[in-house]
Amino acid sequence: MRTVPGLVAGLLGLVSLGGSQGASQSAGAGTAELREVRSEGQKVLTEAQIAALSGLQPGAQVGRTELQTAADKLVGSGLFSTVKYDFKTRNDGVTLTFHVAESPRLPVYYDNFPWFGDSELSDAIRGRLPFFNGTLPEGGSVVDEAAEAIRGLMASHKLDFAVQHQVTSNPLGEGNVQQFLIDGATLKIASLNFSDEALATNSGVQQHLSEIVDKPYSRMAIDVFLAEQIRPVYLKQGYLQVKLGPPEVRLSGPPAEKLPAEIPVFVPVNAGTVYQFAGATWSGNNVLSSISLDSFVGLKAGAVADGMELEGGLERVRDEYGRRGYLDATVQPGAAYDDAAHTVSYKIAVSEGTQYHMGGWVITGLSTNGEQRVRTAFPIASGDIFDKLKYQDFLIALQNHSKEILGDLPIHYENVGHWLKPDAEKKTVDVLLDFK
């Protein structure tokens, strides 16, 4: 058994390659004809796709070097977290079996390619990577190949840009995405218009348009703007399932070598139904009663289901747990929509976790006097319940160079790095501050 980074390759040497009577006499020492490539453990890819990715072809002469190179190629693709293999030799050649564990994949996100629709970009990738299903691993050769496929599509339309990729937060939901973007384009957003004409007369929306219009064209920037500035307008009115976009680029004519300086963007809006709040049920809560939790949410049964008020209420619940030292507490709502009655109810699962008390300190970047003043001014004494809200207020005061903390001491820091180091067994949390 040998191990290399990211790869465990098990050679179950049942018979030395090339040692059976059926091996080709003209083959080099230690080689035999490859008869079949098999695989086990895959969940998304097929056996045939894994065989193709390995680069091995039935009928080729292979030895240990070729098998190891093929396994390394699978790991280098980024599609597999581990690869093991074994082989069996018979008179008619070698049967190779890969034992694989596939890597997690991320949705692909195309950022600033206004000349092409998502389907065109995906088809270009699929032409190079036939197994492509809209997701890719965080890294590896297949991600680089996808970028090269997009670059090739642009080159065919006389668009000469380098294509980059990076893992970043998903602007449309939870988790991360594999983002593709081009470097060097000077396109700007000329305008942002919506199919819902009510937005054109909404003073709040119009006030925020300057945050996106006349800025560099970026699908990511547009989606973030929609999530932060437009979606709340609908959620507050009870349109909890509003659909925004995807944004459409209004360019006329085919992609051309001469780029337009400004890009008009249109956003289709489907507001959907206004929902009334039909109540919430809580589970997992022991420290706070369901009546108390309802009071934090604030919505009354029968009222318009103000999505922003609900989100604010859940954040108040999280803050209350943090104030009581439950730093690991999670609050997860699950919505149940009744489209016939136009109502929505929630099942909210609470996981309270451990209650933490103030532990120790690690402070760097301050003088001895400065460190002592920070410890003295901290509003939570050693052994007390760790109030996360007081801690956050204290950080803001430090960042603002509060004289109430440091007095007249000379201040030489610009930023304060801060971390909490919880110990679930001791039920304590240490505070780490780094003054830079």
131-170 tens-digit pLDDT: 999 999 999 999 999 999 999 999 999 888 999 999 999 9
Question: Which one has a higher pLDDT value, 109 or 28?
Answer: 109
Which has the minimum average pLDDT: 4-13, 241-250, 251-260, 397-406? 4-13
| Residue 150 dihedral angles phi and psi, to the nearest 5° | -65, -40
Question: Which one has a higher pLDDT value, 316 or 174?
Answer: 316
Indicate the number of domains in the chain: 5
pLDDT value at position 250?
A: 74
pLDDT value at position 11?
A: 44
pLDDT value at position 89?
A: 86
Give residue 29's pLDDT band: very low, low, confident or very high (50, 70, 90): low
Q: Decide: 355 and 286 in contact? Cβ < 8 Å.
A: no
Q: Are residues 322 and 346 in the same domain?
A: yes
d(CA 69, CA 206) in angstroms, rounded, equals 58
Is the pLDDT at 19 greater than 70? The verdict is: no
Q: Are residues 223 and 254 in the same domain?
A: yes
pLDDT value at position 252?
A: 64
Is the pLDDT at 262 greater than 90? The verdict is: no
Question: Which one has a higher pLDDT value, 386 or 253?
Answer: 386
d(CA 300, CA 278) in angstroms, rounded, equals 8
Q: Are residues 403 and 362 in the same domain?
A: yes
Q: Are residues 87 and 7 in the same domain?
A: yes
Is the pLDDT at 239 greater than 70? The verdict is: yes
d(CA 275, CA 292) in angstroms, rounded, equals 24
Q: Are residues 85 and 161 in the same domain?
A: no
Angle (CA) 27-31-33 rounded to 5° is 80
Is the pLDDT at 256 greater than 60? The verdict is: no
**What is the average pLDDT across 263-271?**
95
Is the pLDDT at 10 greater than 50? The verdict is: no
Q: Examine the fold and report which residue of 183, 210, 243 is the final residue of a domain before the chain moves on.
A: 183
Which has the minimum average pLDDT: 20-24, 40-44, 68-72, 323-327? 20-24
Q: Decide: 239 and 271 in contact? Cβ < 8 Å.
A: yes
Q: Are residues 369 and 413 in the same domain?
A: yes
Q: Which domain holds residue 424?
A: 357-435
Is the pLDDT at 404 greater than 70? The verdict is: yes
Q: Are residues 131 and 74 in the same domain?
A: no
Q: Examine the fold and report which residue of 119, 148, 183 is the final residue of a domain before the chain moves on.
A: 183
From residue 125, alpha-carbon distances to 90, 149, 207, 330, 383 in Å are 39, 5, 39, 39, 57
β-pairing verdict for 269-270 and 243-244: antiparallel
User: What is the percent of the chain where pLDDT is above 70?
Assistant: 91
d(CA 138, CA 100) in angstroms, rounded, equals 17
Q: Examine the fold and report which residue of 351, 380, 410 is the final residue of a domain before the chain moves on.
A: 351
Q: Are residues 111 and 85 in the same domain?
A: no
Considering the chain, what is the average pLDDT of its residues?
A: 90
For 114-133, how does the pLDDT look when each residue is reduced to its tens digit (9 = 90+)? 989 999 999 999 999 999 99
Residue 14 amino acid letter? L
pLDDT value at position 72?
A: 95
pLDDT value at position 269?
A: 97
Give residue 249's pLDDT band: very low, low, confident or very high (50, 70, 90): confident
What CATH number corresponds to the domain at position 197? Answer: 3.10.20
Give residue 3's pLDDT band: very low, low, confident or very high (50, 70, 90): very low
Give residue 96's pLDDT band: very low, low, confident or very high (50, 70, 90): very high
User: What is the percent of the chain where pLDDT is above 90?
Assistant: 79
For 284-319, how does the pLDDT look when each residue is reduced to its tens digit (9 = 90+)? 999 999 999 999 999 999 999 999 999 999 999 999
pTM for the structure as a whole: 0.80
Is the pLDDT at 13 greater than 50? The verdict is: no
Which has the minimum average pLDDT: 11-20, 221-230, 348-357, 395-404? 11-20
**What is the average pLDDT across 171-183?**
93
Q: Are residues 135 and 74 in the same domain?
A: no
What CATH number corresponds to the domain at position 15? Answer: 3.10.20.310
